[in-house]
Homo-oligomer: A and B are copies of this chain.
Amino acid sequence: MPLLKSWVESANAPDCEFPLNNLPYGVFDDGKGARMGVAIGDQVLDVAQVDHGQDAALFTAPEWNGVMAAGPQVWDALRARLTELLSEDAYRTAVAPHLVPMADVQMRMPFRVSEYTDFYASRDHAFNVGSMFRDPENALPPNWLSIPIGYNGRASSVVVSGTDVCRPWGQLKAPDEALPRFGISARFDLELEFGAIVGQPSDGMVSVAEADEMIFGYVLLNDWSARDIQAWEYQPLGPFQSKATATTISPWIVTRAALQPFRTSTPERDRPLLPYLTEPGPMLYDIDLEIGLAPAGKDETIIARTNYARMYYSAAQQLCHHTLSGCPMRVGDLLGSGTISGPSADSRGSLLELSWGGKEPLTLPTGEQRSFLQDGDRLTLRGRAQGDGYTIGFGECTGTIVPAAPRPAWATE
């Protein structure tokens, strides 16, 4: 598919993240209150202001959950309507007054997160972590090649790009310490992930094909992780407070429709998957991803580049597996892909892997070293799919680490 031209000229540049082919959905605030918006070029369309006929009520809340709940026919009709309004010059006079410059708005959470699930589905990531903490010869857990391993996260901790992230306190115990202590996390990390947003509910098992149809769109996702808290708490029931400080998502929901041209297949399998996980077609997407790290007041360095196509399991497979025991899924559920790493040292999706557990600190161009995040560091994830003369972008997924809260009076030494 080539570039679809818009009368919003800025949308027609080949490197613009928000051409007419994209039309991602967000919630913006220009000082007059939070409203639903659509990105086009360097503008945001105040989408409630255009005529939606009988669907008008779907556009009054500052969240996209209502549109998601309305179902795929409404999704398709909205995309067709917006494409028409923003491509045909005849609509320019009526629509242009409802465009707000992106530079003048603050982005809010694009949807209300119902529940948040995080997975563990990049083979290179699982291999790296297993090699560090277990044994390179047996790096993958025995179930890894059969199960899209997931765990439930905390929806209340999901924040939108731009929200500061406060370094957490927690229970910590180093391997050489006899007893734990209450302290500030010193091994605070990022995780480069891709988030799938469930747009339709389920009650009972759904197939991979049905799961794919339930997905409304995707965001970039940074699952901030306190490795020292995680190491002490995670046995036997999994990560808990180590993953509950914050999870940052990019502000624009890029729809499944916009990503269709970029579909690609999961890799060859070491051992066959159980039939229920068979994919009826390509379920991954070819999306270049990068992590930028900027120390306080310093320039940013790209510390890793990888691609979503590197995953072993797709979001559709993960969502199918999620429903296997009868677990109801709801509109607004968010599924994190799991950390996305590639095979090379510069394609690892976390500092845990990039610094190999702190043993091989990264050296930034400024000369500073990083094993884990320092206060003041600004982390930015970016994602781009390269089309024929156009780009599909997600907007930045960024967060700055701020110092831990003061020690509470009730948590004495």
Q: Are A238 and B241 in contact (CB under 8 A)?
A: no
A166 within 8 A of B: yes
Q: A205-B405, A276-B410, A408-B207 are in contact. Are A141 and B326 (CB under 8 A)?
A: no
CA distance in complex: A156, B117 (Å): 12
Interface size in chain A (residues, C-beta < 8 A): 70
B408 touches A205 (CB 8 A): yes
Is the CB–CB distance between A237 and B235 below 8 Å? no
- A29 within 8 A of partner (CB): no
Residues of B within 8 A of A81 (CB): none
Interface flag for A87 (CB, 8 Å): no
A405 and B326 alpha carbons, distance in the complex (Å): 9
Q: A156-B115, A182-B276 are in contact. Are A143 and B325 (CB under 8 A)?
A: no
Find residues 227-252 in chain A having any chain B CB closer than 8 Å to their own CB.
229, 232-242, 244-246
**B246 contacts A326, C-beta separation under 8 Å:** yes
Q: A233-B147, A236-B234, A238-B237 are in contact. Are A169 and B271 (CB under 8 A)?
A: no
Contact A322 B241 (CB under 8 A): yes
Residue in B155, B208, B237, B329 whose CB lies within 8 Å of A150 = B237
Instruction: Please determine whether B329 and A276 come into contact, CB atoms closer than 8 angstroms.
Output: no
Residue in B166, B244, B276, B278 whose beta carbon sits within 8 Å of that of A408 in the complex: B276
Encode contact with B along A248-263: 1 for CB under 8 Å, 0 otherwise. 0000000000000000
User: Do B410 and A154 have beta carbons less than 8 Å apart?
Assistant: no
Q: Is A149 an interface residue (CB 8 A)?
A: yes
Those 7 A-B pairs whose CB atoms lie nearest each other, nearest first: A238-B238, A244-B327, A152-B152, A168-B325, A276-B411, A207-B410, A241-B325
Given contact pairs A114-B156, A149-B240, enumerate 8 new A-B contacts (beta carbons under 8 Å). A120-B236, A156-B329, A226-B325, A234-B237, A236-B238, A238-B238, A241-B321, A245-B327
